[in-house]
Amino acid sequence: MQIFSNWLKKKKLTSPVDVSSLVTDMHSHLIPGIDDGVPDVDTAIALIKELAGLGYRKVITTPHIMVDLYKNTPEIIRKGEKQVKEAIEAERINIEFEASAEYQLDEGFLNHFKNGQLMTFGGKYLLLELSYFNAPPNLFEMLFDLQVAGYKVILAHPERYAYWHRDFSKLEDLKNRNVFFQLNMISLSGFYSLPIKKISERLIDGGMVDFIGSDLHSHQYLNLIEKALYEPYLEKLINSGKLKNHLL
């Protein structure tokens, strides 16, 4: 544990990275009470104020949609979006707010796809996440079908899928199939694990990261983001010219 702690303390920046050039945070859980994100409007507003303070001018929040756990619908999400927007206006926070979704690629996803109910953002970008235990056996076929239908697929936090840590070629294969990658900013803090931090850095070194998101759920996440602001690899990513957040 001491070795891990010492490794994380190495090579920190002396001042925080300015993230205002990102303009948009495109992955968070700020609709109250519908997933594992914020429990109420007050918490959502407090976190949105902090994002505005960091220089973000737009938030695209993305509640979970999972067949067994978070059975959200566009109607449920839109209702929560309206509630948060009204609170933002009441608090006079200078930030744009909209809602989309983070879809689990599970057995229920195909029905959403077939029914034309997929929530997208920024010109048909679609945020997908995978199981943390194993990749779906039909992953490549599903991605192909989505792309043929005109969706621009963003894979949420690819650094967190441990089954690819020793088979990096799978991630390279996904990039070759024109899948966009979204890194979690807090992955660079070492919060999840040292291997996830290392894979994050490898993705950045390879120029494979297209978006960076807060994946903001709570004040704990915000504290971790503030730590990540001192990571040299965050500075490298923002200066790389690869990120597309500002285009959303």
Judge whether residue 2 has pLDDT over 90: no
- Whether residue 73 has pLDDT greater than 70: yes
How would residue 117 be classed by pLDDT, with cut points 50, 70 and 90?
confident
Q: With pLDDT > 70 as the criterion, what percentage of the chain qualifies?
A: 96
CATH code: domain of residue 68: 3.20.20.140
Q: What average pLDDT does the segment 39-59 reach?
A: 98
Write the pLDDT tens digit of every residue in 27-39.
Answer: 999 999 999 999 9
Question: How many CB atoms lie under 10 A from the CB of residue 166?
Answer: 8
pLDDT of residue 8 exceeding 90: no
Residue 93's contacts (CB-CB under 8 Å, 6 or more residues apart) are: 45, 48, 49, 52
What are the tens digits of pLDDT across the range 150-184?
999 999 999 999 999 999 999 999 999 999 999 99
Q: In which band, very low, low, confident or very high, does the pLDDT at 132 lie, cut at 50, 70 and 90?
A: very high
Is 12 inside a domain boundary? no
Alpha carbon distance 106, 118 (integer Å): 14
The residue segments making up the domain with residue 233 are 19-247
pLDDT of 113 above 90: yes
Look at residue 218 and tell me if it is in a domain.
yes
Look at residue 127 and tell me if it is in a domain: yes
pLDDT tens for each residue of 177-232: 999 999 999 999 999 999 999 999 999 999 999 999 999 999 999 999 999 999 99
Residue 3 scores a pLDDT above 80: no
Phi–psi pair at 60, nearest 5 degrees: -110, 105
105 assigned to some structural domain:
yes
Chain mean pLDDT for the chain: 95
Q: What is the pLDDT of residue 11?
A: 85
Is the residue at 70 inside a domain?
yes
Residue 16, judged by CB atoms within 10 A of its CB (0-12, 13-18, 19+), counts as middle
CB 178 within 8 A of CB 187: no
Q: If you ran DSSP here, which 8-state letter would residue 216 be given? A: B
Q: pTM for the whole thing?
A: 0.94
Q: Answer yes or no: is 30 within a domain.
A: yes
Residue 1 pLDDT: 52
Instruction: Report the pLDDT averaged over residues 53-62.
Output: 98
- List the beta strands (DSSP E) in the chain: 24-25, 58-61, 64-65, 96-99, 102-104, 125-129, 152-156, 180-184, 211-213
How many domains are contained in the chain? 1
Q: Is residue 80 one of the residues assigned to a domain?
A: yes
pLDDT (mean) for 109-118: 93
Radius of gyration of the chain (CA): 17
Residue 6 domain-assigned (yes or no):
no
Average pLDDT, integer, range 7-26: 88
Residues 143, 177: Cα–Cα separation, whole Å: 9
